[in-house]
Structure 1
Amino acid sequence: MGAFVPPMIAFHMEGEVNLRFAEGDPIAEMAALQAEFGLFNPEHSLRSAAAILGLAPLYGEARLRWFDYMDYLDGLDVANSPLGLRETLRQNLESGDVRPVHFQYHGSDNPVILVTPSGGTVPLSSVSYLHISVPVQSYMGALRVAKTAAPPSAERREGRRKSGSSTKKSK
């Protein structure tokens, strides 16, 4: 994630996502939203699901980078499974035994999504969670990469500059 989002935003969003998929009312609400709207169905992207659920930074470049990261995750494989992240979430939310989900990060040297179906509990809980770990890159590693290739969000930012969205007034 470091390649797309500064660490403070990444940690904040990890907390937000984990609250949304936590045990009790949050995961029950997610299952109800999946049943009514099919947020994680194949015709929707993780980007659109995150936007609809309000799971993104509120403003600016961090928001664009978070959505870029959602696109990145949408294209990754889940280790030892033919399913992607959306399908894993969809199947859990539509199952008769919906489990809360705990998201965490692992290093980008293993660029796959890791799912532990019987992942056990999380601190302060006795409920068994589905554990999902997604790859991230260190902030310093991301800075090195950024020097060699601009991310898609930088291209959008440059496009806005060219479109004349300047704040200077003409005389």
Structure 2
Amino acid sequence: MGYFMAYADTQIPTFLDQLNQRFAPAQPDVGGESMYGGIAEMAEIQKEFGIFKQGRPLRESMRALNLTAGNNAVRQRWLRLIEGLSKHPSNRDGERGDDAIVNALIENFSAKEPLPVFFTSHDMQGKQVDGSPVMITQGARPLHYLETDYLVISLPMQSKEAAERMRATASRT
């Protein structure tokens, strides 16, 4: 996936962090000040606006969240990376990567108490797209310092160099 981001691949953690902030655990009110946000706010936004919807590409829902890492060119590269998830399988039976993410989020939002969502990535390990699934795990604890269950969504990625090596190997066969 570094291939999609090219020179902006160092911005991937910024996008993941922005997603993790939007879908974070609800914060307690502090000193009378409302700390409303995170998953509680996202659940209400989902209920009112239906940002994530079956049949709507994940890319379009991400556009609505308006995440940005500095400039429009980088944002467009990120959206192409998200769009590319439709070519990946998932660890959910019969669902492609982007559909699996949308469906998992919709299911999570429909729960009485939606879990916070943690977005991360994992190494494609030089595998072709069809061998590199989007991984979705319910009730995981990705942050050792928080005793909080999450819905974890891990995106397959690789460096642009690994993608180039894989393409070069494929062209020789």
Provide closer, same or farther for how the CA distance between residues 14 and 37 of structure 1 changes in structure 2, counting only shifts above 3 A. same
Secondary structure at the counterpart of residue 62 of structure 2: helix
- Among 131, 135, 143, which residue is 1:122 paired with? 143
The answer (yes or no) to whether the contact 1:79–1:114 under 8 Å persists in 2 is: yes
- Post-superposition Cα deviations, 1:90-130, rounded to whole Å, max 9, x if no partner, equal 11112123000111111123421111112125143221111
* TM norm structure 2: 0.75
* TM norm structure 1: 0.75
Residues of 2 paired with 1:58 and 1:97: CA distance?
34
For residue 109 of structure 2, what is the aligned residue in structure 1?
93
For residue 113 of structure 1, what is the aligned residue in structure 2?
134
- Is 1:57 matched with 2:73? no
Contiguous gaps of at least 5 residues in structure 1: 148-171
Residues of 2 paired with 1:146 and 1:16: CA distance?
31
RMSD: 2.3
Aligned residue-pair number: 148
Moved over 3 A (4+): 142-147
| Correspondence 1:125-164 to 2 at 5 A | 125-142=146-163
The answer (yes or no) to whether the contact 1:19–1:26 under 8 Å persists in 2 is: yes
Contiguous gaps of at least 5 residues in structure 2: 27-36, 169-173
- Among 5, 9, 12, which residue is 1:10 paired with? 12
For residue 85 of structure 2, what is the aligned residue in structure 1?
73
Structure 1 vs Structure 2: percent identity of aligned residues? 28
Larger Rg: 1
Residues of 1 paired with 2:69 and 2:151: CA distance?
24
CA shift at 1:4, angstroms?
0.8
